[in-house]
Structure 1
Amino acid sequence: MSVQLLIAQVLLLSLGMLGIAAADPDKILDHGPKALLALGLTLVVARLRPRAFLKVGPWVWVVTLVLLVLVHFIGVGTAESAGTKRWLNFGVIRFQPSEMAKLGLVLMLASFFARRGVQNKLISATGMILLTTGLIFWEPDLGSSVLMFALGIILMYAAGVRISNISGFMLALGLMAIPVAGIYLEQHPYIKERLIGYQTRDDVTAQGLDQIGMAHRDLRMGGIPGQGPDGPRYNYFGEHTDMIVASVGFTSGLLGVAMLLFAYWLIVATALDVAHLASRVRPMTPEIHGASVMAIGAMFMIVGQAFVNLCVAAGIFPVTGVPLPLVSYGFSSLLTMSLAMAVIHSAMREVRRHLPEQSENDNPVALSAD
């Protein structure tokens, strides 16, 4: 097990419970046990070797595709989702397939590149990325589909696909997407309104700039040490989900936000360390290659989504509804991101197992709790 990842996950889960307790105290009784369950799941699944993830990767991906298709027929939405269908509800089980699809794509592409290599495999990999992204785009869920597409590009780069080939693919796809984008925005005007920031201030609703403005207010009120979970505040919709950083900043102040960023940095550092150590393994086996790709993909799943969420809270990006990984309320995201953490744990342990003892000791970053 990686000490850095354990510290990062415990920090994020703790800050999430603190923020949720302040934003909506009634939900902490539901979220607390789920957070502990997610941490336990990470510790259990992390014991698997990468070959197990690579073996089940194609099956996980296919299952997530089926679930994404089912969303369009039996899916449900929420009062805040502008009539879109993004959830599957089976009584006691309610989840968002697009969250699981991210992990499915990571495992699928890592398995594909480990088994088949990267030479002349751009078309096949592109088809997998576009199929997954397209089903989410169709929901519609623009924020998640953009993240999914970016995840696929990162995975191809991590696997060793030439950057020139990736750039050419992106340029061609961008040109083809121009006419589609206009039709898409006309069919879903709420997305267009979010992208242009609304025409006038009078048209702003709780899902737009007002929400961001109130998040900024709560962050300022938190100061450096924070007001604590019982501090005086004005609640607004979304603080326990996509604007959870406002609650974290209010309760724990600048120190809490700094700890949040530090935790995500630990995840980035650990995944990059996996890739660096994997490059030292000789000979490079398919399992080590797949483990490296999985670690980078799982890292981007978490940190890429965190980047988007924090940019929304800062007012840089339009509101997307993307949760803050391992912090926001919501079991679908919490469960998937905890599994992604387990993937990085597994990859780190496997890479270290194949390193010569001298190379392992020469690396000061890779701490282990094995």
Structure 2
Amino acid sequence: MSVQLIIAQMVLMVLGLLGIAAARPDLIAEHSWKTALALGITFVVARFRPRVFLKVGPAFWALTLVLLILVLFFGVGTEESSATKRWLDLGGPFRFQPSELAKLGLVMMLASFFSRRGVQNKLVSATVMIVVTTGLIFLEPDLGSSVLMFGLGIILMYAAGVRISNITGFLLALGLMALPLFSVYLEKNPYILARWQGHQSRDTERAIGLDQIGFAHRDLTWGGWWGQGPDGRRYEYFAAHTDMVVASVGFTTGLLGVLTLLFCYWLIVSVSLKTSQLAARIRPMTPEIHGASILATGAMFMIVGQAMVNLAVAAGVFPVTGVPLPLVSFGFSSMLTMSVALGIIHSALREVERNLPETEGRGAENKPPEPEVLGLSAD
């Protein structure tokens, strides 16, 4: 297993515990055992080889689609908006957000698909998978998660070896077709437009959630260089332990803690990119190595892409979206899926390193991947 990834995960989880201890001390016990469980899940998942994830990918993706459909009929909303349906409540502590599992499902499905079929003339099928998954989340409605899901699909296409020109054409065509539907979507969900307009104008009476950003900025300022500790005096505000948890971390640990948090996400990016670079040196590139490379890149974007959106919201760059900070925010659905994603990166790196020594002796380590190698098989 990668020591860098283990350190990054543990430090992020500790920062999350400190932030939640400051924002919601009553939840620290619950978050502690969930954090320990999630860390254990990472170690278990890391033991499997990538071929396991590639094999179960289609079935797991199909299961997440079923869960997303169930949310539309039986889902429950948030405390501030009952119109949105994002969770399945099975009673007691069994409440989870299927959109988080769907991100993992899409990564495994597309990695399985491209590793088995190659990337030549396969865009229609991959596009349908991305659009269906994104569309079901879009209907909840959950605009933030649907945008992240769509971006995840594009990153997976690129990681698989699809040409940039083909991806660009796909985006233009899909964008033109989606414009009429998007206008209807905004009419049915006026809070989205109001939130964006309020964010642009900085009018606190019109902006939904702008007070959260103001409180978050104040906490980050009060944290100073070293922080006030989890027992420091502060005002309570909505989502200080979930969407705005970085402000609680900044208040508790100061600028040093926030920079450490950013460094941990950089470590995740570094290990994932290393996995893809090493995979490109292996000749011949087998379906499992190709799939491992896609899995590592997709899992990385799941974590870091979502983190960047959350941090941009806390900084006031984006309007409030309701996206949690991976491995830090309170909430087991996100914690569980992100921990599994880290386990997948561990698995992919180990598989690539296992196959690397045999191929290095052939003098092929510095050659870039050839297009025909990535098109591994035909229908």
TM over 0.5: yes
Q: CA deviation at 1:299?
A: 0.1
Q: For structure 1, which runs of at least 5 residues remain unmatched after alignment? A: 364-370
1:356 is aligned with what amino acid? P
Identity %: 71
Equivalent position of 2:174 in the other structure? 173
Is structure 2 residue 142 aligned with structure 1 residue 137? no
Equivalent position of 1:320 in the other structure? 321
Distance 1:196 1:106 in 2: 33
Is structure 2 residue 77 aligned with structure 1 residue 77? yes
Distance 1:200 1:7 in 2: 39
Distance 1:332 1:276 in 2: 31
Equivalent position of 1:201 in the other structure? 203
Distance 2:28 2:270 in 1: 30
Equivalent position of 2:349 in the other structure? 348
2:248 is aligned with what amino acid? S
Q: Deviations over 1:296-328 (max 9, x none)?
A: 000000000000000000000010000000000
Equivalent position of 1:284 in the other structure? 285
Distance 1:96 1:178 in 2: 28
2:255 is aligned with what amino acid? L
Equivalent position of 1:60 in the other structure? 60
Q: CA deviation at 1:208?
A: 1.6
Distance 1:213 1:204 in 2: 14
SS at match of 2:281: coil
Q: CA deviation at 1:80?
A: 2.1
Equivalent position of 2:34 in the other structure? 34
Distance 1:48 1:264 in 2: 23
SS at match of 2:178: helix
Equivalent position of 1:210 in the other structure? 211
- RMSD, matched Cα: 1.6
How has the CA–CA distance of structure 1 residues 116 and 22 changed in structure 2, closer, same or farther, with 3 Å as cutoff? same
SS at match of 2:284: coil
- 1:1-370 equivalence runs, <5 A: 1-92=1-92, 93-197=94-198, 201=203, 203-204=205-206, 207-356=208-357
Does the aligned pair in 1 maintain the 2:227–2:253 contact within 8 Å?
Answer: yes
SS at match of 2:95: strand
**What is the TM-score with the length of structure 2 in the denominator?**
0.93
Does the aligned pair in 2 maintain the 1:82–1:190 contact within 8 Å?
Answer: no
Distance 2:204 2:139 in 1: 30
Q: Deviations over 1:254-300 (max 9, x none)?
A: 00000000000000000000000000111100000000000000000
Q: CA deviation at 1:74?
A: 0.7
Distance 1:64 1:269 in 2: 29
2:218 is aligned with what amino acid? R
Distance 1:320 1:137 in 2: 13
2:123 is aligned with what amino acid? L
2:310 is aligned with what amino acid? N
SS at match of 2:109: helix
Does the aligned pair in 1 maintain the 2:112–2:291 contact within 8 Å?
Answer: yes
1:168 is aligned with what amino acid? G
**What is the TM-score with the length of structure 1 in the denominator?**
0.95
SS at match of 1:120: coil
Q: CA deviation at 1:358?
A: 9.3
Distance 2:174 2:87 in 1: 28
1:130 is aligned with what amino acid? V
Distance 1:41 1:269 in 2: 22
How has the CA–CA distance of structure 1 residues 194 and 106 changed in structure 2, closer, same or farther, with 3 Å as cutoff? same
2:231 is aligned with what amino acid? D
Distance 1:60 1:177 in 2: 27
How has the CA–CA distance of structure 1 residues 219 and 174 changed in structure 2, closer, same or farther, with 3 Å as cutoff? same
SS at match of 2:89: strand
Does the aligned pair in 2 maintain the 1:15–1:248 contact within 8 Å?
Answer: yes
Q: Which moved more, 1:169-178 or 1:134-143?
A: 169-178
Distance 1:294 1:313 in 2: 29
